[in-house]
C-alpha cells in the first residue's frame, strides 16, 4: 500500500509542476525520475495518474466545476484542482478494475 501512497504524492508533484512549464507529460515524468527515485510500482502508478489526469483535463475540469458549489475553477488553488482530478482518475480506474473482475 505504501507504493500507491508514494505514487499519488509523486503524481501530485508532477502535475503541480506542469502548471508552470509547457512540456510534454512524458518529459515531465522523465525529468522527475532524473532527480528522484521510487519503486517501480510507484513509478508506473504515478505515470498512470499523471497521464490520465492530463489526457482528460477538460472532462475533469467540468466534473470538478459541476460538483463545487459557489466555487469556480478560477477561485480554486491549482493544487486542489490537480488533487481532485487525480482522485477522479483513481476512482475511475478502481471502477474499471472491479468491472473487469466481475466480467
User: Residue 97 above 70 pLDDT?
Assistant: no
Which CATH architecture best describes the domain 2-102?
Orthogonal Bundle (1.10)
- Is the separation of the CB atoms in 82 and 16 below 8 Å? yes
User: Domain map of the chain by residue range?
Assistant: 2-102
pLDDT digits (tens, 9 = 90+) for 54-73: 888 888 888 878 877 888 88
Least confident of 3-7, 27-31, 49-53, 60-64: 60-64
DSSP string, 5-52: HHHHHHHHHHHHHHTT----HHHHHHHHHHH----HHHHHHHHHHHHH
User: Which class for 46: exposed (0-12), middle (13-18), buried (19 or more C-beta within 10 A)?
Assistant: buried
Other Cβ atoms closer than 10 A to 48: 16
50 alpha-carbon distance from chain centroid: 4
**What is the structure's pLDDT at 36?**
93
Amino acid at each position: 500500500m505504501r507504493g500507491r501512497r508514494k505514487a499519488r504524492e509523486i503524481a501530485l508533484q508532477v502535475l503541480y509542476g506542469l502548471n508552470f512549464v509547457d512540456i510534454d507529460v512524458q518529459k515531465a515524468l522523465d525529468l522527475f525520475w532524473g532527480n528522484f527515485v521510487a519503486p517501480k510500482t510507484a513509478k508506473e502508478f504515478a505515470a498512470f495518474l499523471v497521464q490520465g489526469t492530463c489526457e482528460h483535463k477538460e472532462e475533469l475540469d467540468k466534473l470538478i466545476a459541476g460538483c463545487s458549489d459557489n466555487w469556480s475553477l478560477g477561485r480554486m488553488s491549482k493544487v486542489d484542482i490537480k488533487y481532485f482530478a487525480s482522485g477522479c482518475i483513481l476512482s475511475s480506474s478502481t471502477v474499471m478494475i472491479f468491472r473487469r473482475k466481475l466480467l
